[in-house]
Amino acid sequence: MANVHKDFHGGLSYGLQFVEDRYGPEGLRDFLSGLADTVFKPLVEDLRVRGLPALRDHWQTIFELEDGDFELRMEGDTLVLDVRRCPAVSHMKEHGYAVADHYCEHTRIVNEAVCQAAGYACSVEYDQEAGRCVQRFWRAAP
Amino acid sequence: MISCTEFIWVYSELFRFLEDRGGEETVIELWQGISQDFLQNLRDCIAEDGLKGMHRYWSHTLGEEGGRHTMTLYDDMFVIDMHECPSARLVHRGGRVKPYPKYCEHCRWLYPPLIEQFGYEVDYYILDPEKGRCRLVVRKPPGANTPDA
């Protein structure tokens, strides 16, 4: 069982705002995209080998650990992650942490970097204020 | 969403990114900002209960983070002996990232300056970064006007 210290979401949010303030949206994108080669390299490799079940298992593990309100389902060949209560946004709001101006963009950027590295594509529609999003993942056209 | 279980690796990578972009002073500016602007819950605990508030704060955070440590609370002193820091363990032994060499320095910039603002004397010793060993010693100077009851 992994240790769950949700205040780290506030720390990440602070860091993302710091990077964007210093280096703009492009700097934020550079930083987050680079995580696909390091922090998320095991996920990239798993996605490449096992396909969408790798992402399904990843999200299932994380959102259960963090007690999020979510649903995972397949719509044809697309994996859909429907987040009805984001554990990160809800924790930050409940505990008075500042939420970075473009906090939820990190999901888009990291997802795109991970998927691109593994031959997949993705999309996300989010409502940062409400702490909700819908993420979709599918195999990229060759 | 980057999970809080993945944060420590991202934190280490953030330090490296900032050093590559702006040098070590930019990393230190981040740490100073976190100390001043982010750690309000620690600030509140100290303001309410002084040394006991520190003990309460770290009992909660280290309890959630895991790791192995002992905390000692005296009337005029609070000590954390970290035997195996959960954060340093992930960075140095997790295999996910190339460890940021000065990773453990962030605690030196986050905590002592904040605690000293309440009138305490603070020593922070990094004993062995790769093994995650450090010691934080907070003393209430005789006659100091600290928030302790």
The pLDDT of residue A2 is above 80: no
Residues 56-75 of A with CB under 8 A from B: 62, 65-66
The pLDDT of residue B21 is above 90: yes
Q: Are strands A120-127 and A69-75 parallel, antiparallel or unpaired?
A: unpaired
> Which residue does chain B place closest to A23, by CA atoms?
B21
A5 vs B: CB within 8 A: yes
Amino acid at B143: G
Amino acid at B137: V
Angstrom distances, CA of residue A83 to CA of A10, A18, A98, B46, B75: 19, 26, 21, 36, 48
Task: Categorize the per-residue pLDDT at B94 as very low, low, confident or very high, splitting at 50, 70 and 90.
Answer: confident
Distance in angstroms between the alpha carbons of the first and the last residue of chain A: 38
Query: Which residues in A lie closer than 8 A to residue B98 (C-beta atoms)?
Result: 38
Question: What's the complex ipTM?
Answer: 0.95
The whole-number pLDDT of residue A95 equals: 92
The pLDDT of residue A1 is above 90: no
A114 vs B: CB within 8 A: no
pLDDT tens column, B126-147: 999 999 999 999 999 999 999 9
* Least confident segment among A34-38, A67-71, B91-95: B91-95
The whole-number pLDDT of residue B67 equals: 83
The whole-number pLDDT of residue A141 equals: 87
Does residue B148 belong to any structural domain of this protein?
no
Does residue B28 belong to any structural domain of this protein?
yes
Token pair of A27 as six digits: 């700097």
The whole-number pLDDT of residue A83 equals: 98
Query: Which residues in A lie closer than 8 A to residue B19 (C-beta atoms)?
Result: none
Interchain contact, B4 vs A5, CB within 8 Å: yes
Q: Report the domain count for chain B.
A: 1
- CA-CA distance, A52 to B53, in Å (whole number)? 46
Distance to chain A for B30, nearest Cα, Å: 7
Region B81-107: mean pLDDT is 94
Task: Categorize the per-residue pLDDT at B149 as very low, low, confident or very high, splitting at 50, 70 and 90.
Answer: confident
Angstrom distances, CA of residue A26 to CA of A9, A80, A100, A105, A109: 22, 28, 16, 12, 11
Does residue B67 belong to any structural domain of this protein?
yes
Interchain contact, B26 vs A22, CB within 8 Å: yes
- Average pLDDT across chain A, whole number: 96
Query: Chain B residues with CB-CB distance to A under 8 A?
Result: 1-11, 13-14, 17-18, 21-22, 26, 30, 33-34, 37-38, 40-41, 61, 64-66, 86, 96-98
The pLDDT of residue B80 is above 80: yes
Does residue B144 belong to any structural domain of this protein?
no
The partner residue sitting opposite A66, judged by closest CB among B3, B22, B40, is: B3
DSSP code per residue over B11-40: HHHHHHHHHHHH-HHHHHHHHHHIIIII-H
What domain range includes position B88? 7-139
Tell me the CATH number at B27.
Answer: 3.30.1380
pLDDT tens column, A54-101: 999 999 999 999 999 999 999 999 999 999 999 999 999 999 999 999
Fold of A7-139: Muramoyl-pentapeptide Carboxypeptidase; domain 2 (3.30.1380)
Chain-centroid distance, C-alpha A114: 10
The pLDDT of residue A27 is above 80: yes
Query: Closest Cα to residue A52, out of A142, A136, A129, A141?
Result: A136
